[in-house]
Amino acid sequence: MSNNPLYNKENSKMTLDSNALNMLYTHLNQVVPIPSEEWDFFLTLISYRSIQKNSHFVQTDDDINEIGFCVKGLFRLYYVTPDGNEFNKNFCKAGDFVTCYSALLQNAPSYFSIQALSESHLIIFKYQDFQALRNRHMCWERLGSFIAEMLYLNKEIRERELLLFSAEKRYRLFLERFSSISEQIPIYHAASYLGITPVALSRIRRKINLC
């Protein structure tokens, strides 16, 4: 691991960084096996970033060229209307990729903001570097296709839930989907994600707790 840019004997975060790499390697290999020489090359392309609670990884209209892999923490992805209202699009936890993928595909500014809801840590790589990797070895092409398919699937599922399901059912699905982090998400952020008011969500929570 001496060639790993995250490894530094003087770095007090060395253990966390090693764990971060193991998490990313395990996550990627669950999708497609990555040859050791490809992994070693990938390590030359990545960096590590800590983001404090309430700080942003990306803000609306930022020019972006990075993809983050969350190894610790919690993010919310949210839109801001011209009059300043915020609507949460999604939440990302450890093990999730974090970026505005549609903006990367279109080489456009970010359409939404990404804010840390707790102290968070990301492994970062540039989108252009990953695109070059896809021409280098089939494993990266397969991985890129899988990520795009998952993002599309998640988008379609989210749209279907908002259009067809009741608020209570959406909340129950929210609890299943974010079971490991639901207690860390403030109720007003959860309500925004569900498309309801905090008051309505409080009523649903009381009803569920009484069942």
The alpha carbon torsion through 191, 104, 74, 189 (nearest 10 deg) reads: -10
User: What is the tens place of the pLDDT at every residue in 61-107?
Assistant: 999 999 999 999 999 999 999 998 999 999 999 999 999 999 999 99
Q: Is the pTM of this model over 0.85?
A: yes
Q: Which DSSP letter does residue 67 get?
A: E
CA atoms of 133 and 135, how far apart (whole Å): 5
Summarize pLDDT for 158-192 with one digit per residue, the tens. 999 999 999 999 999 999 999 888 889 999 999 99
Q: Any idea where the domains of the chain sit in the sequence?
A: 14-156, 165-211
* Superfamily of domain 14-156 in the CATH hierarchy: Jelly Rolls (2.60.120.10)
Report d(CA 124, CA 150) in Å as an integer.
19
Q: Provide φ and ψ at 52, rounded to 5°.
A: -70, 155
Place of tokens 């905090």: 198
